[in-house]
Structure 1
């Protein structure tokens, strides 16, 4: 996820305007809306049955507008604040939440379903509603470490040790959401400016930085199924080992990868009613539904993140192979907003240049 704000090309701006026109047309020009429009990122997924359940309960059709990664979706929404191309936006996470709030993008809405959430999530800012959370963690290739007779790292600090030289691949925080989360994890662990010395050590120890998760995990990491990679440590997610089991070509009793609990950084994804929404009531119904047990039970299998609703049963693969950190790292959104660009610029100077 890019942290560099760019003006959208003219063609993209035209597409946004066209989308807004289509949404207006779909609402019937003053008649009661027949659909609700969700603006989100490309990783959003919901099973067909759950989507149909919402449409049956609400009497509305659900249209999903996917707009690149989470930061791109937010950028587009900010460009049309007050005259949005949809009714609800989903996928705003902690690292950019302050931008959405300061951009006057959202209407206040406090869902009655918040009372059913886990305690960590039941009192958000009134403009947003938490929907899921995921933890960005180090992942290791079990077989590589067993073959080489080396113990895998158990902490962020371990990565500076000589035995892990040239073994780690990370994502660039200027272009990647997990890359930013990992940078924030190092700030939370080593402090500011202590994190800078840590990254100097990682660079001296041969860390490889690439643009995004796809390249890091599927091309550079040795533990991913079918990957040609040679690096056995990667920044990924707490649920990645479960995904390796679920998508394996043959049944597996043990995941070929493992997540390292130390240094895991929590990302919470939020939904909100877009200011100027053409179907605000439908948007509220959608947000309520996204917190329902039906939708929350679908979250792990569809998007490989954790639900925020309390007592939701997790897939067996999550229970057996994913990590659920007891005390994940987090930084206040206000602190991230004040320092994000400076931290990313300094990281680039230390690691890339």
Structure 2
């Protein structure tokens, strides 16, 4: 009798095993801050899997630049179905690879500071670059980019390398947006105040700034939200600059060679729903791409609100990036 029941149980389990084996997997290339335990990735994975009947798998690269480089190297043989974590400074270069497909959806429910109409890239969050300062080290921060550049050299700042870091490139574009052809001269004036130029944002923020090595660091206007909401402190704030602040929009895109085209587009649609977006403000510490209404944490009302949004079209960034980086290098070694 026991043998009979065991056989019946095994037979009943076969369809369950087969269903599990047939469950599709969506492979998403992304960066560490998204997929980390403290980032939005784990909660988004749970939420999407409840809807899709699939497995959402994150493959983590060091940065947006690494995501793009990996995609280029793998080409049509890539395992990626979606790339998530590129931004407005890298998306045109990614588009020019010819490896991305169209998302085929209307982008009419966005809450961005700029108009958005792009057939390849779906935005999932946005924010402004800003210098975050330690109020216990610096009571009165510079109130403009010009004031920072002309401050005494004993005011030390931490920035990131534009060749390896998204915020680092953002500062390059910020300076160019404000000063144009005079940006190289301004960099020469600023370099005496640069304590360190780190490879990544996290290297500078956690290893140097949070340890008190300098009173200011290049970061985001949203960074204080994390400290206020999670660390329960007002110590770290963003300096509002009179010239305005440079905008970053983070994006995701379908990989054209994906064998999971329908599932990938389902995920891109899911990105612009509250089930995805509610995890952005305090886990990715950025503004959501849609209006969350009462779900947006109140702490975001206490953040600086730039008087002007500075932004270069992605096609212009792709065209000018190499020259801007070369000009920056020249200014740093003079």
Shorter-chain TM band: 0.7 to 0.9
Q: How does 1:1-353 map to 2 (within 5 A)?
A: 34-44=24-34, 45-46=39-40, 48-112=42-106, 114-118=107-111, 120=113, 123-146=116-139, 151-163=140-152, 165-191=154-180, 193-203=181-191, 205-211=192-198, 212-221=200-209, 224=210, 227-229=211-213, 231-248=214-231, 251-252=232-233, 255-262=234-241, 263-312=244-293, 313-320=295-302, 322-352=303-333
Deviation of the 1:33 alpha carbon: 5.7
Describe the superposition over 1:27-72 as per-residue Cα deviations: whole angstroms up to 9, x where unpaired: x9xx966221111111213264442221121111111111221110
Deviation of the 1:119 alpha carbon: 5.7
Separation (CA, whole Å) in 2 of partners of 1:104 and 1:159: 41
Aligned to 2:11: none
**Conserved in 2, the CA contact under 8 Å of 1:172 and 1:209?**
no
Q: Across the two proteins, how many residue pairs are aligned to each other? A: 307
Separation (CA, whole Å) in 2 of partners of 1:124 and 1:298: 24
Deviation of the 1:352 alpha carbon: 4.2
Deviation of the 1:125 alpha carbon: 1.8
Normalising by structure 1, report the TM-score: 0.80
Separation (CA, whole Å) in 2 of partners of 1:121 and 1:161: 31
Flag the 1:162–1:70 CA change in 2: closer, same or farther, 3 A.
closer
**Conserved in 1, the CA contact under 8 Å of 2:102 and 2:120?**
yes
- Which structure has the greater CA radius of gyration? 2
Describe the superposition over 1:100-120 as per-residue Cα deviations: whole angstroms up to 9, x where unpaired: 1110021111324x2211264
Normalising by structure 2, report the TM-score: 0.85
- Aligned to 1:349, the other structure's residue is in SS state helix
Separation (CA, whole Å) in 2 of partners of 1:307 and 1:340: 27
Deviation of the 1:241 alpha carbon: 1.2
- Aligned to 1:92, the other structure's residue is in SS state strand
